[in-house]
Amino acid sequence: MKRVRKSFVLLVTGILFVLILSACGQKSQQDIVGDLNKKAEEMTSYKAKAKMTIETGNDPQEYRVEIWYKKPELYRVYLENPKKDQSQVILRNGNGVFVLTPSLNKSFRFHSDWPNNSSQVYLFESLVKDIKNDSAAQFKAKESKYVFETKTNYQHNQMLPTQEITFHKKTMAPASVKVLDSDKKPMVKVEFSHFEFNKSFDKDAFDEKKNMTLSQMDVATSADSSDSFAVKTPVDMPEGVKKMEEKEMMTDAGKRYVMTYGGKKSFTLIQEKARVAEASTPVTMNGEPVDLGMTVGVLTDQSLSWTSDGVDYLISSSDLSKEELLMVAKSVEGQSAK
């Protein structure tokens, strides 16, 4: 009996010892955050490819995304919608921040702190920063991945408060990101198909002229010769605002549609066919570049402009906040043509 008891005690002791060793081998959330931060500090560059799906419209829109980054402040983000044959390039180099639209031969230059002034769903260091800055971030370890749920840091946009970020355990590279609305519904999804740290780049890889030329080789530099286009209307507006008037007019460039909204607040929405610029010389903008999901717009204190699917849009208002301007713009983009 004593031998049985002794064997049992030894067995229990052995199991407890194994469990303790196993527990000691598991990294805590703090350990993983430290590993991610170390990776961000020690890596010198990266190249990545991903598919981004925007769920804000009637039909999900898919985009191909290619990301290049080289420390300390060189960025190139290529966004393409294959179905609509439209693309944009966002660059940051020593000359500033640029938004290129190759198919329209347009180049806009900004004096901006992009991408450091907001969450960036496809940039590794931005994702790590959001995790590090959220002391209440949730964490779980899966078999081959780490999953964090954190607050987002979107300027002028409180409609997407959280994000779910998944990293590969082995490489610490991002696997996917889901940006969630207040009901925890994914509105933006990014799935990385390739991510490689410490890549080398050609000397002119982040040059705005070189990128415009290369992008134009992939996309035909021409606008639709037809003046007709689908007119869109916003769905989301501040409370107490409604459409007051809609006018169609002819300009030297073609048809222009002007919609006026009024009530507690007022704004004007202008839509007209986008035209190819004669020269690709960068135009310096006074506003800031903002991510509308499906395209990059130009936001000022009293206006928001963007180009999408061959159409130029402008919302102007003296009393809408920047957050309200973004809300209206995104609801325009999310609508089918009337």
Paired tokens of 156:
């002028």
DSSP-derived secondary structure letter, 153: -
Distance CA 209, CA 293 (A): 25
Looking at per-residue pLDDT, the higher value among 158 and 156 belongs to 158
Q: How distant is the alpha carbon of residue 263 from its chain centre?
A: 32
Mean pLDDT of the chain: 88
Domains in the chain: how many in total? 2
252 and 207 assigned to the same domain? no
Residue 5 lies in a domain: no
Q: Which domain holds residue 94?
A: 30-218
- The whole-model pTM stands at 0.85
The mean per-residue pLDDT over the stretch 217-224 comes to: 55
Same domain membership, residue 250 and residue 179 = no
Q: Do 214 and 254 belong together in one domain?
A: no
More confident residue, 213 or 203: 203
In the structure, what pLDDT confidence band is assigned to residue 291 with cuts at 50, 70 and 90? confident
Residues 203 and 117 in one domain: yes
Q: Could you tell me the pLDDT band of residue 66, with boundaries at 50, 70 and 90?
A: very high
Would you state the pLDDT for residue 23?
Answer: 47
Q: Quick one: 149 and 267 in the same domain?
A: no
- Asked, for residue 227, whether it belongs to a domain, the answer is no
pLDDT at 11 over 60: no
- Output the domain CATH number for residue 70: 2.50.20.10
Residue 228 forms part of a structural domain: no
Asked whether residue 295 is assigned to any structural domain, the reply reads: no
Over 90: is that where the pLDDT of 117 sits?
no
Question: What sections of the chain are H helices per DSSP?
Answer: 2-25, 29-42, 124-133, 208-218, 322-333
What pLDDT, on the 0 to 100 scale, is given for residue 56?
A: 66
CA distances from 127 to 28, 39, 321 (A): 19, 12, 27
User: How many percent of the chain have pLDDT more than 70?
Assistant: 86
Residue with tokens 């769903």: 121
